[in-house]
């Protein structure tokens, strides 16, 4: 997606050789038109797979998951990072360590909204070492549902997550794959990313 | 909005005389078509006001804020409930107490995304005692921006928030106003809510 890559280059802030901040359009402020295009692109790439639900993790996955679910004509669910008072029992839970935030969160979804009839598209904003995706896959597997694929907006190609998921035979579609953030320079992989 | 009220009646779960759980379509699982209609309805009600930004609070406000911002043709921003590693300084912050979750969160937005040129629509899923709205208004005022209004999906009319905001002269538009949840029965106010 050329528009996404352009945004990353123009508005992304490289904080280190492994961290890029895209708060201007994805992680804090949202560009709603870009979110819509992202949703349409994911729907195009996964539309033949019989998806029944889009699963993401709060908070940054919610807007693109909403748009993808809207395009696919299915519900979205966002896993929560901790339990709320109105959502105590009846949960599938897993643990996700975030290296960026240096914390481990318990993530959970209600058993009400995923069953073994579901075929689930997992969606997240970033894929780095794959911890969040692994946690989401764990939730889906606990429910008995199947994984249709993993939809990623920005993949850090220089980290292991994408390779590990693809080796497991999971269809991973990343709209932009960063090959490097060294020297504060944003470089994209040119293979494997259709525009 | 009749479709929203129908959803609340059919899928809402009354947990007490003051708490209703709408995890089936708004707070955990999302009905993307309903979110789209909510966004269009808010855009219709606020479109003449020269809004430049939609501000909400993670996580449940994000999907309807995305759809409202898309309809209005402006960016959305979601305030974060705690600071992340990539967002440490350069923030406007306020405090919000949640009676449902029995916790006080510091909420914040980056100074980069709100200036005194902005005219801001505040959007939230619920309005009860108005704590979240007050916190969001505080963030907007710190930035020097002005408040265009407050967009609420479900207002608890039996709590004080809506009255307090309207008394301050703030335009508050709620898509469904609950007059009571007593006896596990959902009752809507009929005045002040256009369909």
The predicted-structure confidence for A46-61, as pLDDT tens digits, reads as follows 999 999 999 999 999 9
How far apart are the CA of B113 and the nearest CA of chain A, in angstroms?
7
Subunit contact A30:B59, Cβ cutoff 8 A: no
Mutation to test the B interface, candidates A21, A24, A28, most B Cβ within 10 Å? A28
Q: With cut-offs at 50, 70 and 90, classify the pLDDT of residue A87.
A: low
Residues 98-157, chain B, touching A (beta carbon < 8 A): 100-102, 109-110, 112-113
Q: DSSP of B69-117, one letter per residue? A: HHHHTS-EEEEBSS-BTTB-SSEEEEEEEETTTTEEEEEEEEGGG--TT
The predicted-structure confidence for B77-123, as pLDDT tens digits, reads as follows 999 998 555 556 799 999 998 877 788 889 999 999 999 999 999 99
Q: With cut-offs at 50, 70 and 90, classify the pLDDT of residue A193.
A: very low
Phi, psi for residue A172 in degrees, rounded to 5? -115, 125
Of the CATH numbers 3.40.50.620, 3.30.70.980, 3.40.50.2020, 3.40.50.300, which one belongs to the domain with range A38-177?
3.40.50.2020
A187: CB partners within 8 A, 6+ apart: A178, A179, A180, A181
The answer, yes or no, to whether residue B194 has pLDDT greater than 50, is: no
d(CA B155, CA B130) in angstroms, rounded, equals 10
> Which positions in chain B touch A102 (Cβ < 8 Å)?
85
Six token digits for residue B95 = 């405090």
Six token digits for residue B24 = 């089936």
Count Cβ atoms below 10 Å from residue A33 Cβ, excluding itself: 14
Domain B39-177 has what CATH class? alpha beta
Q: Which among A28, A36, A76 has the least Cβ separation from residue B77?
A: A28
The answer, yes or no, to whether residue B13 has pLDDT greater than 90, is: yes
Subunit contact A30:B87, Cβ cutoff 8 A: no
Subunit contact A30:B77, Cβ cutoff 8 A: yes
């Amino acid at each position: 997606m050329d528009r996404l890559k352009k945004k990353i280059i123009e508005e992304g802030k490289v904080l280190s050789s492994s961290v890029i901040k895209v708060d201007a359009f994805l992680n804090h402020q949202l560009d709603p038109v870009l979110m819509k295009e992202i949703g349409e692109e994911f729907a195009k790439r996964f539309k033949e797979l019989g998806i029944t639900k889009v699963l993401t993790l709060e908070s940054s996955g919610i807007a693109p998951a909403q748009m993808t679910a809207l395009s696919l004509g299915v519900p979205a669910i966002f896993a929560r990072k901790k339990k709320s008072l109105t959502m105590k029992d009846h949960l599938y839970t897993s643990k996700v360590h975030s290296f960026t935030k240096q914390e481990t969160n318990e993530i959970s979804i209600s058993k009400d909204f995923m069953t073994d009839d579901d075929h689930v598209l997992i969606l997240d904003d970033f894929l780095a070492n794959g911890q969040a995706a692994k946690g989401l896959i764990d939730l889906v597997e606990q429910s008995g549902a199947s994984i249709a694929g993993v939809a990623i907006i920005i993949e850090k190609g220089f980290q292991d997550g994408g390779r590990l998921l693809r080796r497991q035979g999971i269809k991973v579609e990343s709209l932009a794959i960063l090959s490097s953030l060294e020297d504060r320079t944003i470089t994209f992989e040119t293979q494997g990313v259709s525009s």
